[in-house]
Every structure is written in structure tokens, then in C-alpha cells.
Structure 1
Amino acid sequence: MSEEILKPKSLFKTYSSIIWLLCGIIAGSILGLVFGEGVSVIKPLGDIFLNLLFTAIIPLIFFTIASSIGSLEKSEKLGRLFFIIVTVFLGTVLVSAIVMIAGVFLFPIHQDIIVSKIPLEEMQTMSGGSQITQLLTASDFYELLSRKSMLALIIFSFMIGFASLRSGEKGESFRSFLNSGNEVMKELLNIIMKTAPVGLGAYFAYQVGIFGPQLFGAYAKPLGLYYAFCTFYFIVFFSLYAFMAGGRLGFTTFWKNNITPALTALGTCSSIATIPANLAASEKMGVPKYVRNVAIPLGAPLHKDGSSMSSIIKIAVIFAMFGKDFTDPMTLVTALGITVIVSVVEGGIPNGGYIGEILAITIYGFPMEQALPAAMIIGTLVDPIATLLNANGDVISSMLIARISEGKNWLSNTVST
């Protein structure tokens, strides 16, 4: 009898963080619907939460990657892991793009899109070589501490980890420092996430209050198409990936531990801000430490299923605006290439960068001043569910990577131990 009484309490304790997070998001959404733009008064609460996350993310990424690489027993394992990560990331990005192309084929966009006059970010024109240099490196150490240099930081973290691995016994103390730093940063993120119900609730309230009404305007059809097929991809294909990774056990393990990362991604609209939730979830899913601590931080700036799908819908909308045929084979092949590039170079911050839009418009030869505003509006309004697929895609990919690198029994072995 006493055991039965304790079960509900233990169940609530297990899911208390998720319950509080849901309560905060629901309350915020209701406030946004009721007060509209007036809800911007509480937006600073959401901004404070995000700022705390962003300031902790930089050292977290450094320590998780460097400590993971430094702890590898064989350097040969690193090259094989990279190959598997790239293969899985590229495969899911292309599959997501093909799913969105199928959606556009089934439900063609034949409407005029109103080109709204919205302020554009000032763009700096640089040569291709300069852009690559800026993307992969930083000119000074302090610049690595900005999330705008996320890929450069990841590369630097890999190099530090590999150097500590090669240093052997002389680098043992430094490797211990990296491991200790990793544990400290994980605890710091746990503390920050205690404020998530209030922070995410305020952020949700702002998004619903400000952007909600625009969903019913001229962009309703492409947005409806995008949200519908993203939801389909999220439920059906993520379930398929989970089954491929671990059979029925993989399916149940993924969906059981996926709630907090999904809600964090929806609330923050940032793949980078979702890294802590992804790391915690993948640990609960049994993904090996050396896999999750490399794949998830690396996936945040480089792996974006949602951005891949949004690139397709943006291109389809722009083609509809100018009465062009989107179904031409060469157009579709080019679109797939653009989605891969966008997945690699697009930033992980909320509404960050319009590199993909500019790239697509330039390649297809559309007038920038007419096409870019429409693409920017679409990009803003699809941001929540795009981030959901971007960030959650890293979790499910880590399971697939573990399946390939550890063998088909990786999950059952983890559960048994």
C-alpha cells in the first residue's frame, strides 16, 4: 500500500521540471493572446534567461568538446567518429529537404505574396576566401568567446582536446582540468535551467503577442504548408530514426526523454541555447559520452534539418512571387545544394543571419530588394518549429551515430549496465 502511495509522488518528482516548464509556456502563450503587443513588458525576463544561457554556452562547448577528445583512448577513433557524424548530418539534412520538396509538389504555392517593407540588416560584402576565413577562424583569442564565432570555437576546442590527447602523461593534469571544467559547467547550466519556466514563459508570451496575428495574413498558405510538413517530419521521421537507432527501445527512449529539449528549442528559437537540454537528454538516452559531447555541440551550428526545410519553402515562395517554375529538375538540384550550405553556415542564434536567403536569391538571379523581405518574413515566422527540428535533430542524430559507431546492441547494453 505504501509503495502505491509513493509512486505518484516519484512520478511527479521525475517529471516536475517538464511540468513546470509546460506551465510557464502555457501561461506565457495565454498572456500573449490576451494582451497582444502589450506583453512586451515582460520580455526582459525572457531576455535575461537567454543571456544567462548564452554566457554559459561558450565555456560549456569548450569543455565538453575538449574533454571528450582528450579522453579518447585511440586517436584513430576520432577520424572514424567524424566520418560517421558528417554522414548522418548530411543524410538527415537531405532527407528533410526532400520531404519539403514533396510538400511543395503536393500543395503548390500559387498565390501572390505581399512584399512588406521591413528594415534590412546592413550587409558587408566580402570575398569568398574572406568569408571562409571568418567562418573557420578568429583573428584574436577573445573573439572566440563570442557565439558569433561558434564554428571557430568548436575547431579550437577540437585542437585543444587533440593536443591534450597527444601530450600523454605530461598532459594528464590539463585533461583533469578539462574534465572538472566540464562537470562544473554542467552544474551551472542546471542552475540556470531552474529559471526556465519563467524565462521561456516570458519569451513565448512575446512571440505569441507580437507574431501571432501575422500568421493569418498573406503568408498563411506557405506557413501552413511548412508547419504541417515539419510536424510530419518531426513525428514520423524522428520516430523512424529512433527505431533505426535502437528498435522499439530506441523509439520509447527517445520520446520519453525528448520533451524538455523540444520545449526549450520552441521557447528559445536557438539551437545553441538548447545544447544543455540536448546534452542532458542524450545522456538519459544512453548515448555514449564521447559521442554526445562531440555530436551535439558540433550539430548546433552545422546540422539544421529545420533550416533545410525552410530554405525550400522560401525558394518556393520567391519563385511563386515572380511566376517562375519551381519544379524544374535543375532548380531542385540547386535548391538541395543551397540547403546543405545553409545548414553549415547559418548561425545558431534567434533569427540569426540571412545568409541562406541572400545565397538563394543571388544564385537564382531574383531582385534582392523585392525577394529578400519576403524571405526574411517567412524566416522569422517559421523560426520556432525550424529550431525545434534543428536542435532536436542533433539529439536523434546522436542516437544514430551511437548505433553506427557502437553496434546494434549499444542501447540495450547501456540499459543493462
Structure 2
Amino acid sequence: MAKEREIEYAVFGNYGLLFHKGGMRRRHYFSIIVFSIHFLKEAVVVSGKKVPLIWQIGIGFVLGIAAGILFGDKVKYVEPIGQIFLALLKMLIVPLVFSSLVVGAASIGDPRDLGRIGIKTIVLYLVTTAVAIVIGLVLGNVIQPGVGLALSQEASAFKAPEAPNVMKVILGLFPSNPIKAAADGVMLQIIVFALFLGISAVLAGEKGKPVISFFDSLAEAMYKLTGIVMKTAPYGVFALIAVTVSKYGLSVLAPFAKVIGAVYLGCAIHALLVYSGLIMTFAKKSPLWFFKGVREPALTAFVTRSSSATLPITMRTAQENLGVSEKVSSFVLPLGATINMDGTALYQGICALFVAQAYGLPLTMGAQMNIVLTATLASIGTAGVPGAGLIMLTLVLTAVGLPLEGAALVAGIDAVLDMARTCINVVGDSCVTAVVASTEGEKL
């Protein structure tokens, strides 16, 4: 008589998963996998103190590698956890970007400032962001961190879509139906509509304030929701990496040193060339003077990985160390914490090429220009909270037709990359503030 199949329930953190299993060997595999995830759950508390998210994700990453090596294709049963995590990330994109952009555009304040400080600030932020992405793409093409992985057997059959002409790109920015654009996930149209709505709400005066207040509250709620979703990151990363390693082996981990090196090198190049050039050209000051003045917010941003959390320190040092007036710093810096994400944009350019190379999906020059355009506009809506760069990476991957699973390849080291890119984000805010103050006649 055939042995009856047994039903076991395994609780994965807050996930209740039902597994239909038979045979002692299979039960043994699942017992170890369940133990690994249980260990991951218990590891969030050490000696009564909660372990930071950066270490939780690292633990999940290491356990995922171990599970993928030890259990092979048996880890496919935890794949739904990774898919749920990816779905949660995608769920955040539209409301998070839209609400952040409306509030960011509205924070410009008095429409009369648009003619001078407002436009000047936005142009500088967008230009430095675009330059950062170009630096990232150049380094990605030169260093080629993902070449040789061949993660997809179907990669050779991939045919990169033809780049649309300039007129199509311009027309594609403007939505005829913003609700449909949101439902379809057409992010460029969503971004443009959000900017228009934010500026229009300011122009509406008192009647527009409830609109701004609503999206401000929505943005705050989305920041909180982002934090909640990121708490599931260790479990999602564990599942995604375990499945990836079981499919492709340890060779998938080899290029990580190149990715980290490329991002840090890109951030250094951007700071030393772009920011130094702006300070010398417009502020007529030594780059050493500038970098010495922004040491405190730079270090704080590196540790906290949050532009928003660093904002009070950034504003204080801009006034005390750089000599920027309160009028300029109180306007430019909060706007920068919302829309200026040079480091994040540079990271997205490098990682998008890394994913494309890893999966063997060639990106034409037109596709890479699409990355520049998408990442420049998308970085405006990147929330200044830890982990948001990983969320926005999924947007860039979607824009050029790359697999979202590729984000899992960098998720385990995202915290290491986040420290560098957040540091550059904050330093960039201070640089633009000093430049704007100088062009307004202030003596630094």
C-alpha cells in the first residue's frame, strides 16, 4: 500500500504557507529551509536589541545563498515569498512617485519665485542628475560587471526594441488620460501629470491648499508603507536569491565587487568633477572649502541612508559653514531632498546595465537614452528614505523591458550601495544650494 502523503504547515515569519510533501527526504529538505527562515526571523533581535534592516537583509542574502547551494531546486517552494515581495515593491511605485512629485512641485511656493530661484534650482538638479546617469552608464559599459553571467537561456532570442524618434518621445510624455496612465504604469506620463498638478495647486492659491495637503498626507502615508514593505525585504531577498542561486550557481555572485566598485567610483567622479566644477565656476570657491563644509551632513547621510533624516543638519551646515542665507537654503534644500537624487540616478544607470549584461539582453544607444530620460524624471519622485532606490530600480528596469528579478541580484548589497548614493544626494543638494545662492548675489 502506497504511503499516504503528509501535509505540513510551515510558518515563515508572518507568512503561512501550506506545503504538500511526501517522503522523509523531502521532509528533511523542508525542515532545514523552515529552520533557516525561522533563524532569519529570530535574528532580527540580538541581545534584546533590534538588528538594523541593513543587517537583516544581509542575513537573508547569506541564508539565501546557502539554501540555494544546499537544496538546489527544492527551494522553488519558497519562490512565492520572493514574488510577493516583488509585487509589494511594484505596488508602491505609482502612489509613492505621484504623491512625492505633487508635493515636491508644490513646495516651490510663491509662483513668482519660479521665474528666478525655482527654475534655476530645478534646472540645476535635473542637469546634475542627468550627468550622474551618463557617468553611471559610461562606467557600466566600460567595467561591464554583468558580462559572462548568461542568466537567461532565452537571452540570445531577445531583440531590443527600436528607439522611438524624438517627436514620439515628447508626445509620449503627455497623458491624454492620467488615470489610464496610472493603471497601465506609464510612469513618464504619471510624472509629468504630477508636476503639472503640483504647480497648478500652488497657482490656485487658497483653493489649492487642500489638494496639496491631501497629497502631503498621502506622501507621508506612502513613506510609512514603504518602511513596512522594506521590513519584509529580508524574507523576499532570501527567497529570490535562494531561487536564483539554485538555478545559476555561485557564479552569479562574482560581479558584485565590480558593481560596488563601479557605484563608488562613479559617485567619487561625480563629486570631484561635477560638484567641484560647479563650486569653482559659480561660487568662486575651492572644492576643498566646499567638501570640508559638508562633511557633517555627508557622514550623516552615509550612516542613516536618508536624505530626509539628514535635512536639518544639511540646512544648518549650509548656513553656518557655507554662508548661504536662510531664504535660499530653506527653499532649495527641502526641494532637493525630494527631487535631487544624483547618487540614486547614477546607481540606477549602472545597475540597469548590470542586469542587462547578466541576462544577455543588449541595450541599444536608444534604450540607454531611455534610461537617462526615465531615471532623470523618476529620480524626482524618489522618496528620501532608506531602501527607496531599490524600489525605483524596478521602475527603470520596467522602462527598458528588463526582468524585475534582476533587482534581486543587487538587493543583498543595496544597503552598501545606498550609503554611497545617499551621501552624494545630500552633497549634491548642498552644492546646488551654494551655486544658487552665489547666482543670487550672496557672498559665501
Q: Which category of TM-score, normalised to the shorter sequence, fits these structures?
A: 0.5 to 0.7
Asked whether the equivalents of residues 120 and 436 of structure 2 are also in contact (C-alpha less than 8 Å), the reply is yes
| Structure 2 residue 179 is matched with structure 1 residue 144 | no
CA distance 1:356–1:37, shift in 2 (3 Å): closer
Shift of 1:390: 1.0
Tell me the SS of whatever aligns to 1:274. Answer: helix
- Counterpart of 1:390 in structure 2: which amino acid? N
1:192-216 per-residue CA deviation (whole Å, 9 max, x = no partner) reads xxxxxxxxxxxxxxxxxxxxxx9x8
Aligned match of 2:418 in 383, 387, 398? 383
Shift of 1:86: 1.1
Which residue pairs with 2:131 in the alignment?
A: 95
For 2:411 and 2:290, the matched residues in 1 are separated by 33
Aligned match of 1:324 in 358, 361, 364? 361
| Structure 2 residue 390 is matched with structure 1 residue 361 | no
CA distance 1:220–1:134, shift in 2 (3 Å): same
Structure with the larger helix share:
1
Length-normalised TM-score, structure 2: 0.54
| Structure 2 residue 277 is matched with structure 1 residue 240 | yes
| Structure 2 residue 299 is matched with structure 1 residue 227 | no
CA distance 1:113–1:345, shift in 2 (3 Å): farther
Length-normalised TM-score, structure 1: 0.57
For 1:325 and 1:244, the matched residues in 2 are separated by 38
- Counterpart of 2:135 in structure 1: which amino acid? V
Which residue pairs with 1:307 in the alignment?
A: 344
The sequence identity of aligned pairs, in percent, is: 21
Tell me the SS of whatever aligns to 2:378. Answer: helix
1:315-372 per-residue CA deviation (whole Å, 9 max, x = no partner) reads 111111221234x32122111112212211221111026453232222222333x323
Which residue pairs with 2:375 in the alignment?
A: 339
For 2:113 and 2:44, the matched residues in 1 are separated by 52
Which residue pairs with 1:169 in the alignment?
A: none
Asked whether the equivalents of residues 318 and 375 of structure 1 are also in contact (C-alpha less than 8 Å), the reply is no
Shift of 1:394: 0.4
Asked whether the equivalents of residues 342 and 355 of structure 1 are also in contact (C-alpha less than 8 Å), the reply is no
| Structure 2 residue 409 is matched with structure 1 residue 374 | yes
CA distance 1:339–1:37, shift in 2 (3 Å): same
Asked whether the equivalents of residues 140 and 350 of structure 2 are also in contact (C-alpha less than 8 Å), the reply is yes
Which residue pairs with 1:297 in the alignment?
A: 334
Aligned match of 1:105 in 131, 141, 145? 141
Which residue pairs with 2:299 in the alignment?
A: 263
Tell me the SS of whatever aligns to 2:309. Answer: coil
Asked whether the equivalents of residues 84 and 405 of structure 1 are also in contact (C-alpha less than 8 Å), the reply is no
- Counterpart of 1:372 in structure 2: which amino acid? A
- Counterpart of 1:258 in structure 2: which amino acid? V
1:28-177 matches, within 5 Å, as: 42-43=49-50, 76-109=112-145, 110-112=147-149, 141=213, 144-145=216-217, 148=220
For 1:397 and 1:149, the matched residues in 2 are separated by 29
Tell me the SS of whatever aligns to 1:103. Answer: helix
Which residue pairs with 1:25 in the alignment?
A: none
Shift of 1:384: 0.5
For 2:46 and 2:118, the matched residues in 1 are separated by 45
Which residue pairs with 1:402 in the alignment?
A: 437
For 1:283 and 1:337, the matched residues in 2 are separated by 33
Shift of 1:311: 0.8
Asked whether the equivalents of residues 324 and 437 of structure 2 are also in contact (C-alpha less than 8 Å), the reply is yes
Tell me the SS of whatever aligns to 1:272. Answer: helix
CA distance 1:389–1:114, shift in 2 (3 Å): farther
Tell me the SS of whatever aligns to 1:239. Answer: helix
1:392-411 per-residue CA deviation (whole Å, 9 max, x = no partner) reads 110011111122232xxx32
For 1:241 and 1:91, the matched residues in 2 are separated by 12
- Coordinate RMSD, CA, aligned: 3.9
1:180-199 matches, within 5 Å, as: none
For 1:41 and 1:236, the matched residues in 2 are separated by 46
Unpaired segments ≥5 residues, structure 2: 1-42, 55-102, 153-181, 199-209, 224-249
CA distance 1:104–1:273, shift in 2 (3 Å): same
- Counterpart of 1:244 in structure 2: which amino acid? T
Asked whether the equivalents of residues 357 and 375 of structure 1 are also in contact (C-alpha less than 8 Å), the reply is no
| Structure 2 residue 392 is matched with structure 1 residue 351 | no
Which residue pairs with 1:201 in the alignment?
A: none
1:29-50 per-residue CA deviation (whole Å, 9 max, x = no partner) reads xxxxxxx988685457999xxx
- Counterpart of 2:309 in structure 1: which amino acid? A
Which residue pairs with 1:208 in the alignment?
A: none
CA distance 1:322–1:113, shift in 2 (3 Å): closer
Which residue pairs with 1:279 in the alignment?
A: 315
For 1:392 and 1:134, the matched residues in 2 are separated by 26
For 2:382 and 2:337, the matched residues in 1 are separated by 10
For 2:212 and 2:390, the matched residues in 1 are separated by 25
Shift of 1:235: 3.2
Asked whether the equivalents of residues 332 and 433 of structure 2 are also in contact (C-alpha less than 8 Å), the reply is yes
Asked whether the equivalents of residues 306 and 422 of structure 2 are also in contact (C-alpha less than 8 Å), the reply is yes
- Counterpart of 2:277 in structure 1: which amino acid? L
Which residue pairs with 1:392 in the alignment?
A: 427
For 2:278 and 2:269, the matched residues in 1 are separated by 13
Shift of 1:286: 1.3
For 2:50 and 2:283, the matched residues in 1 are separated by 41
For 2:424 and 2:131, the matched residues in 1 are separated by 12
Tell me the SS of whatever aligns to 2:383. Answer: coil
CA distance 1:298–1:287, shift in 2 (3 Å): same
For 1:41 and 1:146, the matched residues in 2 are separated by 34
CA distance 1:131–1:283, shift in 2 (3 Å): closer
